[in-house]
Each structure stands twice: as C-alpha cells, then as structure tokens.
Amino acid sequence: MSGDKVVEQVKESLVRVACCQIEPRVGCKDENVEKTLRFVEEAVKKGAQIIVLPELANTGYVFETRREAFALSEPIPEGPTTKVWEESAREHGIYIAAGITEIEEKSLYNTEVLLGPEGYVGKYRKLHLWNREKFFFEPGDLGLPVFNTEVGRLALMVCYDLWFPEVARIYAVQGADLILNSTNWVAGREVQPDRDKITPAVCVAQSNMNAVFIAAADRIGIERDQPFLGHSLITDPRGLILAGPASRDQEEIIVADCNLVDARKAKSRSRLNHIMTDRRTDIYDILLGYEAVPFSW
C-alpha cells in the first residue's frame, strides 16, 4: 500500500499539546519539581495529552560552578526527578517532555527526558551547547532518536539545537511528526521587540521547511542576572503559529490541538513537490553528515 493511501485512510491523529512556561529557581530542586507537577496538573485539566516543560526545569540554569551542577544532577531514569515525572505521566495517561541535569559516571549532560503512560520512554542529550554551558556539560552523544508512541512519532531537542537546520531536518527524514523543544531562550537586559521576534520566526521556519509540528516550552524570570525570553509557542507543519507566543514575563500554559497526520500530508506540498523525496541526497548528504536512516516515504 502506498504512503499516500495510508495517509488517506488515517483521517486524523488528533492530540492536544501544552507548553508550560514557568520560572524555575537555580538550586531549588524540590521547589522546582513541585511547580512542574502543579503545572502538569493544570495542563491535564485543559485536556493536554503531551506536555512540554522547559530546559533544566528541575535545577535551574545559571550554575556558578561545575561542583554546583554536579550536586544538582541525577541519573536517568533511576533519579528521583525522572521517577516523579514518570509517576505523573502514568497517573494521567499522558506524555511529559522535560529538561533535566543528568549525570552518568563523571559526565554531565543537558538532557531532555520523555515519559509516557507506560513509564520511561527515552532521553535526548543536547547536541549544541550554548555559551557557558560548555563549562558544565558534555556535548550530547545519543544522536537524534525518534520515539514511536501511541500518539505519534515524537522527537526531542533542547534550546540552541533549534538554530541548527540539520537537527529538525534529520528528525523529519526519520519520520518525526512533532518535535518537543525544552528551552531556556536567553534575553537581553532590556526589552527589544524586534529581537524578540527572532526566536518565534526560527520555530516557524523550521516547521515550514521540515513539515513538522514544534512545541517549544521556554522559561521566564531573571536568574543570577540572566533574563529569559518566555514567548513559548506551538507551530504547525505549514509554519503557522497554533498557540502563543506566550508572554515575556508570566508563568502560563499554552495549548494547541495538533492533528499529527498533517505532518505527513504537509511533506507533499503538491502532486509534484515533496520536501523529503525531492532532497538531492546525491549532492549534499555526505557534506552535511546526514547518517540517519530515512523514513520510508
């Protein structure tokens, strides 16, 4: 059966996605985790089936020393934060994607974990470390996995990864429908309205170029003199904004209904245009380092 016929038979795969924009506090792990659980509860009341929390949601972001980062880190999946989020996902029958400071032996990673109704699903380690993150974390070493779930094909990315076109494209080639981006977009000391438009524009562009949904959950607040941008948003495979951008300085939840079948349909822009099969892999795959096994379109 051809891919087009399969898409025609599957009328919809509707899922409600929520991004929880919160303000973690560095070093206050118990307080942060408790806050995430409250926001998950509120998102569930809004009907959310997939919930995204910010980057390093359990520890805060601006570490002063590597020793501090080590003290706040946890193994995955056996660490207490992952277990608490896993319990919440099981209880509510939902998926939770959230950022966490991970330790493995003597290495630290800026990690996003995915939990579902069945428990631990998997994790992704941030590939592109931003600025001072390089002092604390090792670059991600788990590649770009796509997780097949009962609600759709889910992929993870963290913050700065969004700025590298290879990440979203490789996910799209592997058949991802929805990318869950746990992020801590930093902001300038003063509000700059034009600059604030850049991050939503990058989400829009990546969704449009790769025909994927993107749900980006940012944080707010000022942590050790570093302001954060907020502006969480959810975009569709055409590049339209379904929810958000959220405010710059308020904790809030944004929600959108996403028909994940649309990600498959949008890859065929017309009878003659298909943004996956039209790729000139004979020319540029080797140069760009694409080693992902393509989805069978």
Where in the sequence numbering do the catalytic residues fall? 55, 126, 159
- Residue 59 CB neighbours (<10 A): 25
Contact (CB, 8 A) for 245 and 200: yes
Dihedral over alpha carbons 38, 53, 223, 78 (to 10 degrees): 90
Which of the 8 DSSP states describes residue 160? G
Question: CB neighbours of 138 closer than 8 A, spacing ≥ 6?
Answer: 107, 108, 109
Longest dimension (CA), the chain: 57
Contact (CB, 8 A) for 161 and 167: yes
CA atoms of 86 and 70, how far apart (whole Å)? 22
Residue 109, strand partner residues: 102
What SS3 class is residue 158?
strand
Residue 217, strand partner residues: 182
Closest CA to 50 of 163, 181, 144, 170: 181
Residue type, 80: P
**Backbone phi, then psi, for 58, in 5-degree steps?**
-90, -20
CA atoms of 113 and 177, how far apart (whole Å)? 18
- Residue 5 CB neighbours (<10 A): 9
- 69's enclosing H/E stretch is helix 66-72
